[in-house]
Chain A
Amino acid sequence: MVRKDLPKIITALSAIVVMFSNFTFVGRQLNLTATGDRWLQVSTAFAFLIGAINLTRIHGQNIQRRRSGYYNSIVLLICLWGFFALGLAVGNRDKIYRWIYDSTLVHMEATMFSVICFYIASSAYRAFRIRTREATVLLVVATIVMLGNVPLGDMISEMIPAAKDYILRVLNSGAMRAINLGIYIGGFATCIRILLGLERAHLGGSS
């Protein structure tokens, strides 16, 4: 009973406290939200620690069992705990710590995202086919927006950036509002289910 029900009770109580502190006069005066926010920040830090430990466990098993590509796991664990140890030793404002961060992670991540543009180009070539009427509309709209987003579109015709603006401002806005409404209503429904203990996916079970 404790394993199954205690997490649900904690979830429900936390939600009630947040609602009480945000939607009632007394709750706002007590400023419980600020206290809860500080607890949340500490919990987030612990969640990162659990994530790091779990990552170490999984990749440690890869190395132990010599699974395919286990050397990647060795590199990952050295980088993860080596950088962590460096941060503990010298602090995250140290010059060497920052130099390693700025010189490696920043540029590797930027490179990885830059490579994606080539995949997008080849995917666009393969995917944009006029198979159906809807696909044709998608192709035409995508072409207008792509040309409208660069100065080349202005040089070809003034109508292209104007058409792109109309598509984004009018056609797209209406559709996005509908999508956002659906997302937020669905999110609200999920929150109610979590509050009532009907949703257990976040506790590792099925609803």
Chain B
Amino acid sequence: MNVDQRVIYVFLAIVIIIPLFAPIGMPVSVNQDLTQKFFDVLEKLPGGSIVWMGTDYSPGSSAELNPQLAAVFRHCMMKGIKVVLFSQWQEGAAISRNVCVDVSKQMGKKYGEDWVHLGYKPGSGVAVRAMVQDVWKASANVDIDGTDLSKLPLMAKVKALDKATIACVIDYCSGSPGDAEYRTYVTDPLGIPLVSGQVAVNVPGRMPYLRSGQQKGMISGLRGAAEYEKLIKNPSTATQLMDAQSLGHLLIIVFIVLGNIGYVATRKK
């Protein structure tokens, strides 16, 4: 049974677009092994703790990772946890800054006091290694906008990416460089907890690190972002998009079943 692929495209477009305007409101349950553990790590941190967020993704992954970043950043701002962002991908710096600026404005938080974005520095693992030694030197003493770090009060407390300064490393990644660099140069050698936000296709590859304890929690794709929004009691973008994703997956399965019915019928002939 051969269905023209354009028919598949049209049906997929319809089932994805309609729920965006007429949401169904399917309930989201929280994954206890992945999202709940990620949430618990941040929930246990006292106010005033400093976390390091790596935003290592490109615009192609932003549909999944931006909602994760927004939810976790909001959680940090709610708890008074200070955030230092850094990106090993150039596009990740620009995208993540826009997300954090929006959330920060909504919550009345101040750049320089509550959060700082160091921007992108080339070299991936080399840059991360340099941050472990001296954040200011590795950042060339400026943040993403070229502001001197001495003018940002938060950075007075962040001289190095070490256990004494950073309570937790959070990395949003869609490939390499990403959480592997933090695992190799920061969290495993220094004993800092690592949690990560991953695109759904990366989750199978990261499960061994979660099982071994090298990662303490993980947010998996858009579903994970929706779960995190539920945990912080702030349903937002990810929750709205869950209906569309559900129907999209269902449609793909329906077409696969139809294709196999046709295949079996053709084979019997």
A residues near B, CB below 8 A? 33-34, 37, 40-41, 44-45, 91, 93, 98, 101-102, 105-110, 112-114, 117-118, 121-122, 124-126, 128-131, 139, 143, 146-147, 149-152, 154-155, 161, 165, 168-169, 172-173, 176-177, 180
Contacts and interface: CB of A to CB of B under 8 A. Distances in A.
A110 B249 contact: no
Contact of A37 (B91, B129, B245): B129
22 contacts: A91-B146, A93-B146, A98-B94, A106-B91, A109-B60, A113-B61, A118-B9, A121-B12, A122-B8, A124-B255, A125-B252, A125-B256, A146-B253, A147-B250, A151-B28, A151-B29, A152-B246, A152-B249, A165-B31, A168-B204, A169-B207, A177-B208
Interface-centre pick from A105, A117, A121, A139 (highest chain B CB count, 10 A)? A121
Contacts of B54: none
Contacts of B61: 113
Given A139-B256, A149-B221, A152-B26, A40 B126 contact: yes
Interface residues of B, number: 59
A131 B245 CA distance: 28
B59 A41 contact: no
B246 A37 contact: no
Interface string B7-33: 011001100000000000011110101
Nearest to B64: A113
A151 B205 CA distance: 23
Interface-centre pick from B122, B242, B252 (highest chain A CB count, 10 A)? B252
A101 B245 CA distance: 29
Contact of B126 (A41, A149, A172): A41
B45 interface: no
B223 A149 contact: yes
B26 A125 contact: no
B207 A45 contact: no
A113 B26 CA distance: 26
A90 to B, nearest CB: 12
A101 B120 CA distance: 14
